[in-house]
Structure 1
Amino acid sequence: MLRDAQATKQALVKWIQEYFAKNGPTCSAVVGISGGKDSSVVAALCVEALGKERVVGVLMPNGVQSDIDDAKEVVATLGIRHMVVNIGAAVESLKQSILDGDHFSDITGSTEHARDAVINLPARIRMTTLYAVGQNLPGGARVANTCNGSEDYVGYSTKYGDAAGDFSPLAHLLVEEVREIGRTLPIPAHLVDKTPSDGLSGQSDEDKLGFTYAELDRYIRTGICDNVETKQRIDHMHKINLHKLQLMPSFDADEYVKK
């Protein structure tokens, strides 16, 4: 899909260098490493842009992570400093604290967490962890957003979770384009082609979305979608999730109050 994956990779490296030159000349890049293609590609790009000494990987299993070895392979291959922070206890503690909060059942009408609240909580705790790690680094840090353009288009991310960050190298690259970039980088091929999964719900991305990334990417780039129901689903998801991509609305007195 890319005209020249190598040239795009080089442009990405330059963009990261320029971002840090303006927004953190002494800062390190902090990247949450899941073992999937997106975080692997972002970490590798940051290494090329800044040098491995200025990239820190953070592995954040929620209790037991079945593919934790993939994440360890990424940091070992790139030779970057890394730490492992198991967020399992924090997730369970916060879930229980919310349930035990005064008037929880009165306000929510339930004695249990909603499914989406359970799924999204680890992602938000992970982002909190990345910023906490970053603020402990000498010279400061900037946290990488590792979402790609396909995910962003349909809102397949957690607001203030993986959708947060300070800089977003992959925001305008679709899934297959990220893979093309990945093949130009020194990361294991099996991670570049790994089946995408959020690591939270137990399903692959495509199972959860209800359509393939190939269908989504084609529709985003060409406006063509052969299946009417799939097109309607993509359009609906894009519309209801636009708030994740927009700046927080703020009141402007000059606009609303007559002088």
Structure 2
Amino acid sequence: MNKYNFNVEKITDEVVSWIQNWIKRNGNELTKVIIGISGGKDSSVTAALLVKALGKERIIGVMMPNGEQKDISDSQTLVSHLKIQNFTVNISKAYEGIQGSFAEAKIIKDLNNQTNDSFTNVFKTNTPARLRMVTLYGIAGQIGNCRVVNTCNLSEDLVGYSTFYGDAAGDFAPINKLTTEEVVAIGDYLGLPMTLTHKAPSDGMCGKTDEDNLGFTYHEVNEIARKNIKSENYEKIISKYKANLFKVKIINLPCYKPNLPLFLDI
């Protein structure tokens, strides 16, 4: 296998070309792309790649806070920087509606032997993510001739840090096989604000960064994936990788695949 060498200009051009070709095969010159804008590096870089590939007029950004989102200004910075059409859809009523329906059906009490009425952290994290994907497809259905883009990266997928049929869903996935560090490099190359590209990754819901929750860094994951360099957290990372591999195998989205070393089967 080739030695790892990331050429940001070459890879960026390849991703842009891949997006253009995929849309040509699965749409037409009027097809628009809908993207959820979180204010983080993944959605920011993906949006910038889409604009470069298709033009800003064909990109629709959607901000989807669940009630109050403290960093919503980052999302607004991104859509203003790219000058793309955008909407804000607050999913809080939908989320509260599902919680209320669960309560009416007595699902929580029955499943917890009537000892706990509270919702689990898994529910509170994954349900909003899935509602956001429902929102994107709902807008696509209203507009017509639209494709929904996936914004997950390789590092997240390797350790299962995405929501099954939530942010892990979509029609196509431009950065799905690029690591966090590669995504940041592309964002810097495209001239995105560094406050977005170098922002600590977070789901925006639990108050912690991804790496706080995982117990290791994405850099460690990337070193294993691209260079086969093992850190002290290697076993923990591989355990996460093995436990979550089925998600990627099931949701096998069309994606750009760079000619770069990959030491984990995904």
> Normalising to structure 1: TM-score of the pair?
0.91
Equivalences for residues 41-190 of structure 1 within 5 A: 41-102=45-106, 104-109=108-113, 110-138=116-144, 140-190=145-195
Q: What is aligned with 1:231?
A: 234
Number of residue pairs the alignment of both structures matches: 245
* Cα distance in 2 for residues equivalent to 1:122 and 1:93: 12
Cα deviation for residue 93 of structure 1 reads: 1.4
Gap change, CA 1:115 and 1:77, over 3 Å in 2: same
Cα deviation for residue 216 of structure 1 reads: 1.2
Deviations, residues 131-178 of structure 1 (Å, cap 9, x unaligned): 00111114x111111000000000000001000001111111001000
Amino acid at match of 2:132: R
| Residues 23 and 31 in structure 2, CA contact (< 8 A), matched pair in contact too | yes
| Residues 78 and 186 in structure 1, CA contact (< 8 A), matched pair in contact too | no
Deviations, residues 185-233 of structure 1 (Å, cap 9, x unaligned): 1321221111111112110011011011111111111222231xx1111
| Residues 108 and 118 in structure 2, CA contact (< 8 A), matched pair in contact too | no
Give the 3-state SS of the residue equivalent to 1:156 in structure 2: coil
| Residues 44 and 186 in structure 1, CA contact (< 8 A), matched pair in contact too | no
Gap change, CA 1:103 and 1:92, over 3 Å in 2: closer
Gap change, CA 1:5 and 1:137, over 3 Å in 2: same
Cα deviation for residue 246 of structure 1 reads: 1.4
1:37 corresponds to 2:61: no
1:217 corresponds to 2:222: yes
Tell me which moved more, 59-68 or 92-101. Answer: 92-101
* Cα distance in 1 for residues equivalent to 2:88 and 2:239: 38
| Residues 130 and 165 in structure 2, CA contact (< 8 A), matched pair in contact too | yes
| Residues 99 and 113 in structure 1, CA contact (< 8 A), matched pair in contact too | no
Structure 1 runs of 4+ off > 2 angstroms?
102-112
Structure 1: gaps spanning 5 or more residues: 249-259
Q: What is aligned with 2:246?
A: 243
Tell me which moved more, 1-10 or 197-206. Answer: 1-10
| Residues 108 and 119 in structure 2, CA contact (< 8 A), matched pair in contact too | no
* Cα distance in 2 for residues equivalent to 1:186 and 1:134: 29
Cα deviation for residue 88 of structure 1 reads: 1.1
> Normalising to structure 2: TM-score of the pair?
0.88
Deviations, residues 12-43 of structure 1 (Å, cap 9, x unaligned): 00000011001111321101001111000000
Cα deviation for residue 67 of structure 1 reads: 0.6
Give the 3-state SS of the residue equivalent to 2:250 in structure 1: coil
* Cα distance in 2 for residues equivalent to 1:76 and 1:103: 43
Q: What is aligned with 1:206?
A: 211
Supply the RMSD in Å over aligned alpha carbons.
1.4
